[in-house]
Chain A
């Protein structure tokens, strides 16, 4: 019986595990090895030189690395907070039985199914200085108040480029987490609300004392996924800034900086070793933050 079971386990796991090992794990381990070397990324493999931790030492004093990381951290703070706040708000509204809720839900979720590349192309035109929708609307408002319009370059200004990129990421993510929270909220037994209503609690109090605690597990998972998204941002930044990382690289994140170093001609001494080292640091940060995110948000899970 037991050997039959083991054979079954083996035969079912063998193919997925080996595919995963060969095509996913081996390349990542390979990347870690490359981060310890000097390699141009275009020469054949025999030209690779072992350099130990040289690239990691260089990272310590690389201002552009730290600037990119600080942008990631800003995204990490702003994006989850805004996304969660909006998603929770919409989810709460939709579970209150508003008319038309279904329609809004379908619309709000839609950005999630669009590819990031298309979202970024479309939003590149929203932020366009002269023909963009955003300046168009703002100029209409300005005219209504008798002020002159402007052609503000949202993606061409060091102060607005990163917030612009972040708002696109939020725009796309809100619908997804909203649906997630709707499902979670509908799983909360109605009796809990009835009891508290008898106690005279307002909807606001109920939201904080019942909904949020009972939704906590879902929120935790959402935080982890938003953390991963915040540390990536590669496609948004690349397409919205035409690959430049924005003016003064003001929207540069680790992923785009890594690309610029490894592939974009931004490093003449060790493009691939250094770029890969940045990627390895990024990976470690993601793993650390995910673990941290789960730990910080850990609290008594409410069973019901």
Chain B
């Protein structure tokens, strides 16, 4: 569910001084900068263009796609927020992903700790089982997953479909693979001696885990949390099947943000509101942009936290 994050050898400090800088000729340097600026424009311009489009009228988008808006159409944002219900979708999304991320982190680090630190029968099987989960195309599972949810209700009486708790549980299950993989790598980098010392002092395995190992793995947890945030915020296929508006009255919505955006994009085929769509795109991108800029260092380092030698 989270973006694929391969492990990397060591915890790296970015302030390492340049290697070999002196051997660069001026010409190469100019060439390098041209290339970098070129790529930066390719990355930034489509996004800036979308943001500008979010402030134009539909007619301006069609007739003068290159110009800046004559009057800034801030009401596009209001329309996207209220009429297109982007606000409600964002609320639903947080309702799901806050508990989902918390439990993903807790359960994954428990499993990862065991897999990283203990030898037992079946360990290899369990590791492989979690590992290949990252390779499954999710939508292959969609209809059977729907049936599983339905049977749970039949056997236990607990409704799972079209419920927030049902979606939370599924998000957790589909985030385990990657998060366990990531946290196992992390636990392996922590020195064994600390845990051993605590055990000698009479602490139980659980006490060691919660009082010693978990606090030590905070950097790893933060990284895993950020990646799960991005993955679950953008999750689309699972809620499409498990959260439907076919059971709620008009005016309410169970959709999460990606579904809502898709719904809005679909509506363009019937009632075009491109400026509203771009405003919605901007509203939805903003949280990820903020998370990224605030935690930029942590996200990049997060990639390097896991251990290669595991």
Q: A180 to B306, alpha carbons, bound, how many Å?
A: 12
In the complex formed, the residue of B with least CB distance to A29 is: B144
| Distance between B129 CB and nearest chain A CB, rounded to angstroms | 7
| Distance between B187 CB and nearest chain A CB, rounded to angstroms | 12
A126 cross-chain contacts in B, Cβ below 8 A: 46, 49
Of B19-27, B79-87, B247-255, the stretch lying at the interface with chain A is B19-27
Count B-side interface residues using an 8 Å CB cutoff.
Answer: 100
Q: A217 to B310, alpha carbons, bound, how many Å?
A: 12
Is B174 among interface residues, defined by CB-CB distance under 8 A? yes
Q: Is the interface of B mostly helix, strand, loop or mixed?
A: helix
Q: Report whether B107 and A16 are in contact in the complex, using a CB–CB cutoff of 8 Å.
A: yes
Q: Report whether A23 and B145 are in contact in the complex, using a CB–CB cutoff of 8 Å.
A: yes
| Distance between A303 CB and nearest chain B CB, rounded to angstroms | 9
A9-B118, A12-B113, A107-B40 known; A279-B234 Cβ under 8 A: no
Q: Report whether A290 and B139 are in contact in the complex, using a CB–CB cutoff of 8 Å.
A: no
A20 cross-chain contacts in B, Cβ below 8 A: 129-130, 133, 173, 176-177
In the complex formed, the residue of A with least CB distance to B51 is: A122
Q: When the two chains form the complex, which single residue of B44, B120, B132 contacts A6, counting CB atoms closer than 8 Å?
A: B120
Q: Report whether B49 and A133 are in contact in the complex, using a CB–CB cutoff of 8 Å.
A: yes
Contact flags B4-16 to A (C-beta < 8 A → 1, else 0)? 1011111011101
| Distance between B246 CB and nearest chain A CB, rounded to angstroms | 14
Q: When the two chains form the complex, which single residue of A19, A111, A114, A116 contacts B173, counting CB atoms closer than 8 Å?
A: A19
B24 cross-chain contacts in A, Cβ below 8 A: 96, 203
Q: When the two chains form the complex, which single residue of A108, A193, A229, A283 contacts B140, counting CB atoms closer than 8 Å?
A: A283
Within 8 A of B (CB), among A179-236: 179-180, 182-184, 186-187, 190, 193, 197, 202-203, 206, 217-218, 221-222, 224-225, 228-229, 231-232, 234-235
B32 cross-chain contacts in A, Cβ below 8 A: 93, 98
B147 cross-chain contacts in A, Cβ below 8 A: 27, 30, 45
Q: Is the interface of A mostly helix, strand, loop or mixed?
A: helix
Q: A6 to B120, alpha carbons, bound, how many Å?
A: 8
Q: When the two chains form the complex, which single residue of B18, B40, B129, B209 contacts A97, counting CB atoms closer than 8 Å?
A: B18
| Distance between A47 CB and nearest chain B CB, rounded to angstroms | 14
A97-B17, A186-B12, A217-B308 known; A19-B135 Cβ under 8 A: no
Q: A279 to B47, alpha carbons, bound, how many Å?
A: 34
B288 cross-chain contacts in A, Cβ below 8 A: 113-115
Q: Report whether B140 and A28 are in contact in the complex, using a CB–CB cutoff of 8 Å.
A: yes
Is A158 among interface residues, defined by CB-CB distance under 8 A? no
In the complex formed, the residue of B with least CB distance to A175 is: B43
Is A66 among interface residues, defined by CB-CB distance under 8 A? no
Is B228 among interface residues, defined by CB-CB distance under 8 A? no
Q: Report whether B107 and A28 are in contact in the complex, using a CB–CB cutoff of 8 Å.
A: no
In the complex formed, the residue of A with least CB distance to B47 is: A122
Q: A184 to B306, alpha carbons, bound, how many Å?
A: 12
Is B265 among interface residues, defined by CB-CB distance under 8 A? yes
Q: A108 to B47, alpha carbons, bound, how many Å?
A: 13
B204 cross-chain contacts in A, Cβ below 8 A: 4, 8
Given pairs A12-B110, A20-B176, A115-B234, 19 additional interface contacts (CB within 8 A): A8-B114, A12-B113, A13-B114, A15-B107, A20-B130, A23-B174, A24-B173, A27-B145, A27-B147, A30-B141, A30-B144, A30-B147, A104-B36, A122-B281, A133-B45, A171-B42, A183-B300, A217-B9, A258-B140
A sample of 19 inter-chain contacts (CB < 8 A) reads: A9-B114, A9-B118, A23-B145, A25-B133, A31-B140, A34-B144, A107-B40, A113-B288, A113-B289, A114-B285, A121-B277, A122-B46, A125-B46, A125-B49, A131-B65, A174-B39, A179-B300, A206-B20, A279-B137
